[in-house]
Amino acid sequence: MVADKKKLADDVRKRLTRAMREPLCELDHRNAFELLIATILSAQSTDRMVNQVTPALFARYPTPAALAAADQDELEDAIRPTGFFRNKSKSIRKASQLLVDQFGGTVPKTMDEIITLPGVARKTGNVVLGTAYRITTGITVDTHAGRVARRLRLTKQEDPVKVEKDLCAAFPKTSWIDMGHRFVLHGRYVCLAKKPRCADCPLNEVCKAAEHEPVGSWTARAERETATVVSRGGRLGGTPAAAVKDPYSPPSSEGLSA
């Protein structure tokens, strides 16, 4: 059984790497502090919505000290579109204050330290440490990644921390940061919660949850996933969105007669 899971994990890693060679975080940020706050805001929200809110937020509160001193009501208004704005406002103000008081105004570089910040659990810690610092502490597991891992039978767990433990055991540590991004992107754009695109999925042959027969070779499907992710706003290094057409968009009517 252990050998079978190792083979499965190797196949998954090979295929998702082909589809997403350089997966990137979808939250806009210029430094670890901005990524930390953006990740806290992303809970129960979308990265796209957070990216609409954070430019004005960081223009007004560019440092942990500034954000810690923010007026609660004004901060709530600034982040209201992300949802749960009252609790999030309290968390990011307290986290910023802790950064100032205990960490010299910088985001700490260990999991044990970063999870002491209000609003931060292992998922946020993995995102910030892996993306901002390239420090390997685990595999990011959100709703999308957990769903993909369970469908692939890489875990039976529902709790994100337990899912992460199973995934870390299955994949080499050198791949943890990028595989976390790949699982998130794959679940967000291909392995959807409803109506997953199984026929076009490069993992089809190794996924026991596949609902449809695969179309074409897995490498062709991997290329299609690349196009799907990038054209829909996902970020892959070296793959400009302008050069990619969404495989699921309807044919353009440009140039056709009425």
Assess whether 165 carries a catalytic annotation. Answer: no
CB atoms within 10 A of CB 221: 25
Catalytic residue, chosen from 47, 88, 142, 178, is 142
- d(CA 47, CA 45) in angstroms, rounded, equals 7
The closest of 84, 3, 4, 97 to 43, measured between CA atoms, is 84
The closest of 8, 2, 33 to 151, measured between CA atoms, is 8
Structure token pair of residue 110: 């260990």
Assess whether 123 carries a catalytic annotation. Answer: yes
Q: Is the dihedral of CA 78, 85, 131, 200 positive or negative?
A: negative
187 neighbors 148 (Cβ within 8 angstroms)? yes
- d(CA 187, CA 102) in angstroms, rounded, equals 37
Structure token pair of residue 79: 């982040």
Q: Is the dihedral of CA 189, 22, 15, 36 positive or negative?
A: negative
Half-sphere exposure of 226 (CA within 13 A, CB side): 21
- Residue whose token pair is 């050198």: 174
Catalytic residue numbers? 123, 142
